[in-house]
Amino acid sequence: MKLKFWIIAIIIVILDQITKILLQNKHFGIINYATNTGAAFSLFSNSTTILTIISFFMIGAIIYFYKKHSNAAIPLALLLGGTIGNFIDRVNFGYVRDFIDLKFWPIFNIADSANVMGAIILIYLIWKDKL
């Protein structure tokens, strides 16, 4: 189970970073490269430093939570991979690179998708008392 947790997280980080590199400054179809100095939905714009610090602590919290609740390996791995993916951007660039533009929703990336999926699954497990 431990190996699955780390493999999923690493795959998310790699997919996130590769897609951000390949789609940088691209604009076609639903691909519309943009940068975001805030959090989800561009909340807290220009708060890179505090969001970087929060991300750092979230990475630690996710790993700690996984050690206590290994039965939640998949959602926690998705959250870890997504958090690390955007953390890398904030540290290296001072912003997060987004590129998936559905036109009716704020632009997002693979890391954001992993975070949302991980959170939804985690909420479901908590709701169903499986955690």
Distance CA 128, CA 121 (A): 11
User: Is 129 part of the annotated catalytic residue set?
Assistant: no
What is the number of alpha carbons within 13 Å of residue 110 lying toward its C-beta? 21
CA nearest to 81, candidates 99, 95, 68, 62: 62
User: Is 98 part of the annotated catalytic residue set?
Assistant: yes
Contacts of residue 53, defined as CB under 8 A and 6 or more positions apart, other chains included, come to none
Catalytic residue (choose from 16, 89, 98, 101): 98
Catalytic residue (choose from 16, 89, 101, 112): 112
In whole angstroms, how large is the CA radius of gyration of the chain? 15
CB atoms within 10 A of CB 124: 12
Please list the active-site residues. 98, 112
